[in-house]
Structure 1
Amino acid sequence: MNRRTFIHLGLGAVGAGLIGGCAGGLIGTSAGGASTETAWDAAAFHAARRYLPTSFGEIAYVERGRGPVALLLHGFPLNGFQWRGVMAELAPHRRCIAPDWLGLGYTRVAEGQSVAPDAQVGMLIALLDKLGIDQVDVIANDSGGQAAQLLVAAHPRRVRSLLLTNCDTQIDSPPAAVVPVIEAARRGRFAIETFPPQLADHDFARSDKGIGVLCFTYPQHPTDEAIETYFRPLVESPERIRLTDAYAIGLDPNPLAGIEATLKQRGLPVRILWGTGDTIFSPASPDYLDRVFPNSRGVRRIEGAKLFFPEEFPREVAAEALKLWSGA
């Protein structure tokens, strides 16, 4: 099967037997002791967004809840809106902060600023310092998991715990499916050829020709408002198009090369939550992470769930986070 840019990333329709349309994991649901708060829609999320001036630019972030801080790191090409359901679930327990990466979402990048992975980590530290936050519990997905590992390696005292969902690892970064994306970005064609067609036709975005079938478990995802919230800022100007491509280019060569030895020295509690329907990252990666982190609390797999499942299964993500934080 062809692995092309997100405009042609279909790998076949979602099988009817993957999860059987389990509605219990969808955004805004609550049962069995889960939070009774509801996820913000796009209008509420936009209204809650703040901008923090740093040397990296004006960092867009949304926060919700109270207590110790949980830092939620989104994937590519999404933004903090990915975490709206998880934030609702965890708001009674943590002050949840979801920033947008340099080059993605609504962050306003300073002129001449790199958007490579090392710069993303520097931005996170600047954000935490400006907010007066010493330590965080990190929850991460996709390229956010890559940044989370770099953060733990370089600034171990800043991270209390780490919950990783499907993401890059030293043995799979960039994954083969993303290489065509990077090549298109180097030609200056990825953003401009990928996102306008999906903004123009949301059903196309949810099809096997867009981001939907490849990255989301359920056919109703991404929703109309998610498509607009994720993709619109990526192509709103020539500079944003350039930055979106630059983000992709920064994923190669492997930003995690050689990090394993350092991660083996980090004793923070780590939990891995992995969707087995993901065809982008290697199915060997969760067990690799489990071996690398000396205080790993093991791997839980969600059968059939695809790459961006934290958006679709916020209750499962929150349950694993609470279990990790309790030391259970």
Structure 2
Amino acid sequence: MVAAGGLPERIAAMAADPDVYRGPDGFEGAYQNPHAVSDATVNAYIQPYTANPQQVANLARFILAFDHAQTVRIAEQLRALQVPTLVVWGTGDIFFPASWAHWLAKVIPGVRRVVELDGARLLLPEERAGELNAALREHWSGPA
């Protein structure tokens, strides 16, 4: 859809009807419970794009440029990362499968733990903040 130039229309549709944002033509794939997303949250995400068409073009460029190859390309730098690292991943993420969490754990020597949140998707920090924060607290209270 983005490659075909449909992003401006999709943004306009989501701005006109927040349920489009929550559905299969919106961000349903990024949320475990898309229908729990408030209208205020939808507006917070969409409004900057309706206010400035250049922002939609920037978003399209970002989406089209993003792929897993970028992460693989920096594997050597990740192997040099000698800091305590926590990997938290949603098992329901349709964009980034959980296999990437385990790839990171193998590549980054400082990974202490991989936490998988069952069914969570890309925007898990919004939906599963309590579990994410608990994992972070445990990670930060561990040995340096």
Instruction: Give TM class, smaller chain.
Output: 0.7 to 0.9
User: Following TM superposition, by how much is the alpha carbon of 1:210 offset from its aligned partner in structure 2, in angstroms?
Assistant: 2.0
Name the TM-score, length of structure 2 as normaliser: 0.86
Q: CA, structure 1 residues 302+205, in 2 after alignment: closer, same or farther (shift >3 Å)?
A: same
State how far apart, in whole Å, the 2-side matches of 1:268 and 1:216 are: 30
Among residues 248, 255, 279, which one is paired with 2:63 in the alignment?
A: 248
Q: CA, structure 1 residues 305+254, in 2 after alignment: closer, same or farther (shift >3 Å)?
A: same
Q: Is 2:32 aligned against 1:195?
A: no
**Identical aligned pairs, as a percentage?**
27
Q: Is 2:24 aligned against 1:208?
A: yes
User: Following TM superposition, by how much is the alpha carbon of 1:291 offset from its aligned partner in structure 2, in angstroms?
Assistant: 0.7
User: Following TM superposition, by how much is the alpha carbon of 1:257 offset from its aligned partner in structure 2, in angstroms?
Assistant: 4.2
Q: Is 2:113 aligned against 1:327?
A: no
Q: CA, structure 1 residues 190+297, in 2 after alignment: closer, same or farther (shift >3 Å)?
A: farther
Q: How does 1:62-81 map to 2 (within 5 A)?
A: none
Among residues 224, 231, 236, which one is paired with 2:39 in the alignment?
A: 224
State how far apart, in whole Å, the 2-side matches of 1:304 and 1:249 are: 26
Q: Is 2:94 aligned against 1:279?
A: yes
Q: Check conservation: 1:190, 1:245, Cα contact below 8 A.
A: no
State how far apart, in whole Å, the 2-side matches of 1:251 and 1:219 are: 23
Q: Is 2:122 aligned against 1:316?
A: no
Residue type matched to 2:118 in 1? Answer: E
Question: Cα deviation per residue 1:99-146 (whole Å; 9 max; x = unaligned)?
Answer: xxxxxxxxxxxxxxxxxxxxxxxxxxxxxxxxxxxxxxxxxxxxxxxx
User: Following TM superposition, by how much is the alpha carbon of 1:272 offset from its aligned partner in structure 2, in angstroms?
Assistant: 1.0
Name the TM-score, length of structure 1 as normaliser: 0.40
Instruction: Give secondary structure in 2 for the equivalent of 1:217.
Output: coil
Q: Which residue does 1:262 correspond to in 2?
A: 77
State how far apart, in whole Å, the 2-side matches of 1:270 and 1:251 are: 23
Question: Cα deviation per residue 1:212-257 (whole Å; 9 max; x = unaligned)?
Answer: 2x11111433321111100111232332222222322332694334
Q: Check conservation: 2:87, 2:114, Cα contact below 8 A.
A: yes
Q: Check conservation: 2:27, 2:34, Cα contact below 8 A.
A: no
Q: Which residue does 1:234 correspond to in 2?
A: 49
Residue type matched to 1:320 in 2? Answer: A
Aligned positions, number: 143
State how far apart, in whole Å, the 2-side matches of 1:247 and 1:277 are: 23
Q: Which residue does 2:108 correspond to in 1?
A: 293
Residue type matched to 1:201 in 2? Answer: D
Q: Check conservation: 2:91, 2:97, Cα contact below 8 A.
A: no
State how far apart, in whole Å, the 2-side matches of 1:289 and 1:253 are: 12
Residue type matched to 2:8 in 1? Answer: I
Q: Check conservation: 1:191, 1:235, Cα contact below 8 A.
A: no
State how far apart, in whole Å, the 1-side matches of 2:54 and 2:20 are: 26
Q: How does 1:119-138 map to 2 (within 5 A)?
A: none
Residue type matched to 2:125 in 1? Answer: P
Residue type matched to 1:218 in 2? Answer: N
Residue type matched to 1:197 in 2? Answer: A
Question: Cα deviation per residue 1:71-110 (whole Å; 9 max; x = unaligned)?
Answer: xxxxxxxxxxxxxxxxxxxxxxxxxxxxxxxxxxxxxxxx
State how far apart, in whole Å, the 1-side matches of 2:16 and 2:62 are: 23
Residue type matched to 2:31 in 1? Answer: F
5+ long unaligned stretches in structure 2: none
State how far apart, in whole Å, the 1-side matches of 2:57 and 2:20 are: 24
Q: Check conservation: 2:15, 2:50, Cα contact below 8 A.
A: no
State how far apart, in whole Å, the 2-side matches of 1:306 and 1:253 are: 17
Instruction: Give secondary structure in 2 for the equivalent of 1:255.
Output: helix
Greater helix fraction, Structure 1 or Structure 2: 2
Q: How does 1:41-190 map to 2 (within 5 A)?
A: 181=2, 183-184=3-4, 189-190=5-6
